[in-house]
Structure 1
Amino acid sequence: MTRKLRVAAVQLRSGLEPAANRAQAMPLLREAATAGARFIATPENTLRLDRDRQRMLASVGPEEGDPELKAWARTAQELGVWLLLGSGAIAAGAGKVFNRSFLFNPDGRVAARYDKINLFDVTLGGGENYRESDTVEGGSKAVLVEGPMGAKIGLTICYDVRFAPLYAALARAGADIIAVPAAFTVPTGEAHWETLLRARAIETAAFVIAPAQGGRHEDGRATWGHSMIIDPWGKVLAKLDHDEPGVIVADLDLDQVAAARAKIPAWQGGRDFAGP
């Protein structure tokens, strides 16, 4: 008996106010649920996208008692879906936050949390320089969780996609699906987004779901959009070809993961070697 799972990726243009961002997302979440998606994922920085460090730190609190997290939990329960809140800033103390994903089950309970491991410290030129580590406390633990239909879901966030060993570890642990909620810049998105996502899908022989932020945000930042869903053979099953808010839906045949891994077992890792 085949295991078929309908999933959705929601593309957003989050701003400074979490409640307004949720209001923007709700019609798209309902559209995805009405289309039959049982697993719905939103982008990185869904709760708030703000690169002003002091303003962001002043508005962020601890996870416990956060009203927006409670509202997202109720949304998962209302829609009866597994809902991945791509990420939100959660106070970590010492003037920093965690960039944290939350996976809610259909009862509205948190099934898994993931703190972004690899932080976006880059110098792109043209005035686009980012030091995520100035504000964010990096995570240290890879996360794999059992979701709908027993699918094993690996959680990653945005810049993680450039670090293949994390994805290899998730694959070796049995990941069927790897989520990559993101807020890619326009230059890096245009150059690398699809290539990196397809490479990670091929290397791990897993489905990749990549919901993205897109367009010009309230804080002045521009993100690439172009959300995608990719199969274990590297085929793009669904994508948005723009940076506007929207939703894509795809049917995943979870048995394709085992089939792809049986054909090319490189996901298990190669031979040990010395040097250089």
Structure 2
Amino acid sequence: MLVGGTSRGLFLSQLEAPPPGAMFVGGTSRYFLLKRVYLQPSLGRHVCEGRVALKPPLGRHLCRGRPQQARPPVPGGRWGLAPAASRELLRPPRRGAGSMAAPGPGPRRLVAAVQLTATDDAERNAAACERLVREAAARGAGLVCLPEAFAALGPPGQPGPAEPLRGALVRRCARLARACRVWLSLGGFRELRPGHGHGHSDSAGRAYNCHLLIGPDGSMAAAYRKIHLFDVELAGRVSLQESSYTHPGSDIAPPVSTSVGKVGLAICYDLRFPEISLALAREGAEILTFPSAFTETTGPAHWEVLLRARAIETQCYVVAAAQTGKHNEHRSSYGHTMVVDPWGRVIAQCQEGPGLCYAEIDLPYLHRLRQEMPLWAHRRPELYGSVGILKKAPLLHEAVETEADPCQPGDSTEEKQEEPPPITS
């Protein structure tokens, strides 16, 4: 058999013809979006995106599609896996226990991370965002995360127009979140600084890079303005001066309680500064979000290792929606949108091109891990100080005014079924 890609924890891309007795399954496993692959049982543990042909008894607990063959779950194997397969799970075993118990009853906490190839064409970006948000909502995601620069990504030095926090872009995103009943993370857009005219920024041409979290009722829950700006010169490879068109933020947004957990907001280059992650974790964050547009130079070397490090040291889930591919003649992004669990394991990841990956947030597991390895209790701040949020951005919880909104809560008219307008900047 020929395997294209990698195996455990990341991708299985393509294999030769399916083995005898394989069954075809289209859908997602507990953590992964599955790609069209044929797997032997020994390979059927950690896969991503599309369709899979799994040899029974693998391939249970799927979120999409129907198996052409089905068998009851195998006794003694978690998620319907045979005992041999269930010994190697994506989570560390509990001390003193031979296997981990299945999650208890409660609301399903599914997050979706979007991978996008944005350009300077706002309408094209809008259509791609709306399609992916609706797809994620249809599959039961409670939180959908868009990447940095989701609304527009132009050539270096041409960042595009900015608009107020309550401008057309946010109003339309709020309508989409309300229509889909999801928490929607707008991973980074150019926010007009207060006191400056629409479509422009300050006298130096700078605007905020704003990460906004919108609730399922369409309200603005929190806004974070990027505090670490990417001013980097790597000779012959990367030359970006984000500070030439972005004004740095001056505070950190406290974590927000959502249907999937307490969410902390950051953006891209913030990933390299562990202090912000630790500060958010200290405030109670359970999920850290890093919407990004990593370069093709820095991504292969640093992207995954940084995400896993932030997850391990904070004992949080890390959700990183990313830009991918060629945006224009002068700019390309690394992609590899992923979700990392508090143990530092990649539990979902996108392949090439625009798309989605999904992961289920297991908060009992997270808190059990923190109890078994109490990092915060073991810290020695008297020796090296402590990290915390010194200046907090106020939580918003403000409704976004939308004209002719057909999706107000409690509205029973036929207009409720109308489509919200596309996201445009």
Q: Is TM > 0.5 for Structure 1 vs Structure 2?
A: yes
> Is 1:82 aligned to 2:82, yes or no?
no
1:17 aligns with 121
2:270 aligns with 160
Measure how far apart 1:109 and its partner are.
1.2
Contact 2:156 2:240 (C-alpha < 8 Å) held by counterparts: no
Which stretches in structure 2 are left out of the alignment for 5+ residues?
Answer: 1-103, 194-201, 386-425
Contact 1:61 1:91 (C-alpha < 8 Å) held by counterparts: yes
SS in 2 for 1:213: strand
Q: For residues 192-238 of structure 1, give each alpha carbon's deviation from its aligned partner in whole angstroms, at most 9, with x where no partner exists.
A: 10000000000000000000000000363010000001111111110
1:85-164 matched pairs, under 5 angstroms: 85-92=186-193, 93-94=202-203, 95-149=205-259, 151-164=261-274
1:71 aligns with 172
Given residue 126 of structure 1, which amino acid in structure 2 is its aligned partner?
A: G
1:263 aligns with 372
Moved more, 264-273 or 136-145: 264-273
Which is richer in helix?
1
Measure how far apart 1:111 and its partner are.
0.8
Contact 1:49 1:219 (C-alpha < 8 Å) held by counterparts: no
Measure how far apart 1:274 and its partner are.
6.5
Contact 2:113 2:321 (C-alpha < 8 Å) held by counterparts: yes
Q: What is the distance in 1 between the residues matched to 2:254 and 2:122?
A: 27
Q: What is the distance in 2 between the residues matched to 1:203 and 1:44?
A: 24
Contact 2:207 2:247 (C-alpha < 8 Å) held by counterparts: yes
TM-score, normalised relative to structure 1: 0.92
- Assess, with a 3 A threshold, how the Cα gap between structure 1 residues 98 and 2 changes in structure 2: closer, same or farther: farther
- Assess, with a 3 A threshold, how the Cα gap between structure 1 residues 267 and 225 changes in structure 2: closer, same or farther: farther
Measure how far apart 1:74 and its partner are.
0.9
Q: What is the distance in 2 between the residues matched to 1:102 and 1:30?
A: 18
1:60 aligns with 162
Given residue 75 of structure 1, which amino acid in structure 2 is its aligned partner?
A: L
SS in 1 for 2:333: strand
Moved more, 38-47 or 144-153: 144-153
2:149 aligns with 45
Q: For residues 64-83 of structure 1, give each alpha carbon's deviation from its aligned partner in whole angstroms, at most 9, with x where no partner exists.
A: 3x212211111101111000
Q: What is the distance in 2 between the residues matched to 1:150 and 1:241?
A: 24
2:348 aligns with 238
2:290 aligns with 180
Contact 1:16 1:219 (C-alpha < 8 Å) held by counterparts: no
Measure how far apart 1:267 and its partner are.
4.3
Measure how far apart 1:63 and its partner are.
2.6
Moved more, 253-262 or 227-236: 253-262
Which stretches in structure 1 are left out of the alignment for 5+ residues?
Answer: none
Give the CA RMSD over aligned residues.
1.9
SS in 1 for 2:342: coil
Measure how far apart 1:273 and its partner are.
2.4
Measure how far apart 1:8 and its partner are.
0.4
Measure how far apart 1:49 and its partner are.
1.1
TM-score, normalised relative to structure 2: 0.61
Q: What is the distance in 2 between the residues matched to 1:172 and 1:38?
A: 24
Q: What is the distance in 1 between the residues matched to 2:318 and 2:239?
A: 28
Measure how far apart 1:125 and its partner are.
2.0
Contact 2:148 2:189 (C-alpha < 8 Å) held by counterparts: yes
Moved more, 192-201 or 83-92: 83-92
Q: How many residues align?
A: 271
- Alignment match of 1:201 (pick from 305, 308, 311): 311
Given residue 60 of structure 1, which amino acid in structure 2 is its aligned partner?
A: A
- Assess, with a 3 A threshold, how the Cα gap between structure 1 residues 150 and 189 changes in structure 2: closer, same or farther: closer
Contact 2:288 2:318 (C-alpha < 8 Å) held by counterparts: yes
Moved more, 248-257 or 160-169: 248-257
Moved more, 137-146 or 173-182: 137-146
The percentage of aligned residue pairs carrying the same residue is 40
